[in-house]
């Protein structure tokens, strides 16, 4: 079944490169004149006080509009997405689908201490208020964040690209590790697909972004270990876990993480750690600062997966075949 409304794709500033790769994947195999996908004409006017205004430079009346934008810090990225959704609705778009490869504020998914906000719920409310009809995102910090939205959420798993990628590496004596107890479910799903054992790292924190100690549960000795996680922020936990695993007799430690937030001293921490390789997706672009050491970091693209799911959602086709877990 095909959608009667035209498909229009726009990219906000934080995800222009990712959007270009998605367009490329949407057009692969299409013959000239077959109605090729393209990025719509869109601009953001910047005012001297830091305020900005997104605007569409072409009609979106009656269209199914996909707006591609990850929302890592700064908050301008979220604000730009919200204003763009609002602009599309006010320009009479039939539906507005927010494609958020990385959903910021996802770590604030509950009250973990008194008198704090639940940031993920606030963002979900703002998305609805702006006029979004649907959200497409990848590896939320907690699956239940989908329930914060009062409209459909297409929750894509990076395992769709990471599991075949790890399989192709043919790593001998492979074991999958979770960097903390919260990641046990994800690690178990990877280990089941790759038919290898699981190791769980148990950490205790002194405060946010500061880890006090880590212990490893499972058979580490003689294993080539891949730590899997949803994101790398400062890489403090990850590097400490890698060091502990090497001390316990691991042959090598790699890491697979969907979102390379990589804030603070993350690049430095990874470069100086016992990690041999770190694989991240392109949901957040890597730093282009030449002073940052990216030699251990390899990017695995999610563009093809997003392109397939966007196409299926637009054509009202089932997307269940695109999920590994």
Q: Quick one: residue 47, left, alpha or beta (phi over 0 = left, psi -120 to 50 = alpha)?
A: beta
The candidate with the shortest Cα–Cα distance to 135, out of 53, 68, 44, is: 68
Name the pairing type of β-strands 153-156 and 174-178: unpaired
Distance CA 156, CA 137 (A): 6
Whether the CB-CB separation of 8 and 65 falls below 8 Å is answered with yes
Q: Is 192 a catalytic residue?
A: no
Give DSSP secondary structure letters for 124-147.
HHHHHHHT-SEEEEE--SSGGGGG
How would DSSP label each residue in 290-308? Answer: TTS--TTEEEE--HHHHHH
Instruction: Give CA–CA dist 182/126, Å, rounded.
Output: 27
- Which ranges in the chain belong to alpha helices (H)? 16-27, 76-90, 119-130, 159-169, 184-194, 236-247, 266-271, 303-314
Catalytically annotated residue among 25, 203, 223, 308: 203
d(CA 152, CA 105): 19
Active site amino acids: 203
């Amino acid at each position: 079944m095909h959608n009667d409304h035209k498909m229009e794709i726009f990219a906000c500033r934080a995800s222009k490169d990712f959007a270009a790769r998605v367009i490329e994947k949407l057009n692969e195999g299409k013959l000239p004149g077959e109605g090729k996908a393209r990025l719509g004409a869109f601009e953001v006017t910047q005012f001297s006080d830091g305020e900005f205004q997104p605007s569409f430079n072409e009609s979106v009346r009656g269209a199914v509009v996909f707006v591609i934008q990850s929302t890592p810090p700064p908050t301008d990225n979220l604000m730009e997405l919200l204003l763009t959704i609002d602009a599309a609705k006010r320009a009479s778009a039939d539906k507005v689908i927010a494609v958020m490869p990385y959903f910021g504020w996802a770590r604030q998914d509950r009250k973990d201490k008194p008198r704090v906000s639940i940031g993920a719920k606030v963002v979900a409310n703002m998305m609805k208020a702006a006029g979004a009809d649907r959200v497409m995102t990848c590896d939320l910090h907690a699956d239940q964040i989908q329930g914060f939205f009062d409209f459909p959420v297409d929750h894509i798993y990076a395992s769709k690209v990471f599991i075949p990628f790890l399989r192709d590496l043919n790593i001998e004596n492979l074991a999958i590790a979770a960097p903390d107890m919260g990641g046990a479910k994800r690690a178990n799903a990877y280990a089941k697909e790759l038919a290898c054992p699981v190791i769980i790292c148990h950490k205790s924190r002194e405060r946010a972004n500061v880890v006090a100690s880590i212990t490893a549960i499972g058979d580490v000795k003689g294993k080539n270990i891949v730590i899997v996680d949803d994101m790398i922020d400062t890489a403090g936990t990850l590097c400490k876990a890698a060091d502990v695993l090497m001390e316990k007799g691991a042959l090598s430690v790699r890491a697979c993480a969907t979102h390379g937030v990589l804030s603070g001293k993350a690049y430095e921490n990874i470069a100086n750690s016992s990690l041999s390789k770190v694989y991240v997706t392109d949901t957040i672009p890597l730093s282009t600062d030449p002073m940052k050491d990216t030699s251990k970091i390899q990017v695995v693209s999610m563009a093809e997966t997003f392109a397939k799911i966007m196409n299926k959602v637009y054509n009202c086709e089932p997307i269940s075949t695109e999920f590994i877990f």
